[in-house]
Chains A and B, each alone.
Chain A
Amino acid sequence: MFTSFIHRFSAPKSFVEVTAIFFPYVMTIGFLVLSVGWIWGLAFAPEDAIQGNSYRIIFLHVPASIYAQLIYFFMSICALMHLVWRVKLAAYLIKAAAPVGVIITFIALFSGSIWGIPTWGTWWQWDARITSTLILFIMYLGIITLHSSFSNAEKADRLMSILVVVGVVNIPIIKKSVDWWSTLHQPASITVSEGASIDPSMLYPLAISALGMGLTLIALGIMTSRLYILTREKNKKWVQSYV
């Protein structure tokens, strides 16, 4: 019964129809919230006592890094759904989310890299946090390449899902890298157990930027998903009547 419930609500057709309604709102609210967060962070948040103004990159770097990992986590849940319940939509969403993962992981890496120049005196260091994030970036590219290297799409979906599930081991490594190894990258300033160790005047714009970035990426993900689903199912009857 549970399986039939999942399958009914995960029909690619329902996804395309429902997201068409939400998309404009998610995108508009996402852009607005992100703008508020960034303007607040860039112009109104106080200067950092140690890092000066270079710390303002945080309002881009931290949200980007969070979503670089969250998107992979989302993909691994989809991969499990695809492998266990054979949910087609789950595989489509992995394929559509991977390019968004590539983009945001790249932004996380390069923003950190530029931030490193004034703060650490170097733009790159083979430090645990940075290296594991680079591996995440390569994983995203690998997932896309693996899927496109098969002519049989169903087989590609399954193998891609297996690769995503295996690669999820990297996520706790990224998260814990700053605690397990002595790294140049600073440990987390906001933790569940101890709360936030940064001042509200910096924390609020950071939280708003993160929310805005999340909505913006969901909007982009909706677009890439719709594009992929329509491409993949273009010969199905529902697509012909939908367009």
Chain B
Amino acid sequence: MFNFAFTNLQDFLIMDGHGIYVWPVYLIALVIIATSFQVTYFKLRALKKKLQHASK
């Protein structure tokens, strides 16, 4: 169950010609999720700063 499913790294990247579909899907999903976290984090930080400033 824990054997590497490919013979080498190149095989892993190409995935018998399916790598061109598999990798972009994961990459784009990762970018979308990471960007969502980042954007929300910065908005939250900016809001807290603004509120701290206003409450002084």
By a beta-carbon cutoff of 8 Å, the part of chain A in contact with chain B is 38, 42-47, 52-54, 56-57, 60-61, 64, 99-100, 103, 106-107, 110-111, 114-115, 117-118, 200-201, 204, 216, 219-220, 223-224, 226-227, 230-231, 234, 239-241, 243
Contact of B29 among A100, A111, A223, A230 (CB under 8 A): A111
Contact of A220 among B24, B25, B36 (CB under 8 A): B36
Contact (Cβ within 8 A) A243 B55: yes
Contact (Cβ within 8 A) A111 B25: yes
User: 10 extra interchain contacts, Cβ-Cβ under 8 A, other than A44-B4, A115-B25, A216-B33?
Assistant: A53-B15, A57-B21, A60-B29, A103-B36, A219-B37, A220-B40, A223-B44, A226-B44, A227-B44, A243-B55
By a beta-carbon cutoff of 8 Å, the part of chain B in contact with chain A is 1-6, 12, 15-16, 18-19, 21-22, 24-26, 28-29, 32-33, 36-37, 40-41, 43-44, 47-48, 51-52, 54-55
How far apart are the CA atoms of A52 and B17 in the complex, in Å? 10
Residues on A with beta carbons closer than 8 Å to the beta carbon of B43: 227
Contact of B24 among A46, A52, A114, A230 (CB under 8 A): A114
Known A-B contacts A60-B25, A226-B44, A230-B48; A44 and B5 likewise in contact (beta carbons under 8 Å): yes
Residues on B with beta carbons closer than 8 Å to the beta carbon of A57: 21-22, 25
Task: Write 26 A-B pairs (CB below 8 A) sorted by A numbering.
Answer: A42-B22, A43-B4, A43-B5, A43-B6, A43-B12, A47-B5, A53-B16, A53-B18, A54-B21, A60-B25, A60-B29, A61-B25, A103-B33, A110-B28, A114-B21, A118-B21, A200-B1, A223-B37, A223-B40, A224-B40, A227-B43, A230-B44, A234-B54, A241-B55, A243-B51, A243-B55
Q: Is the interface of B mostly helix, strand, loop or mixed?
A: helix
Query: B16, B29, B52, B54: which has the most chain A beta carbons within 10 Å?
Result: B29
Query: What 7 A-B pairs come out closest when comparing CB atoms?
Result: A53-B15, A53-B18, A54-B18, A240-B55, A243-B51, A223-B40, A111-B25
A239, closest chain B residue (CB): B51
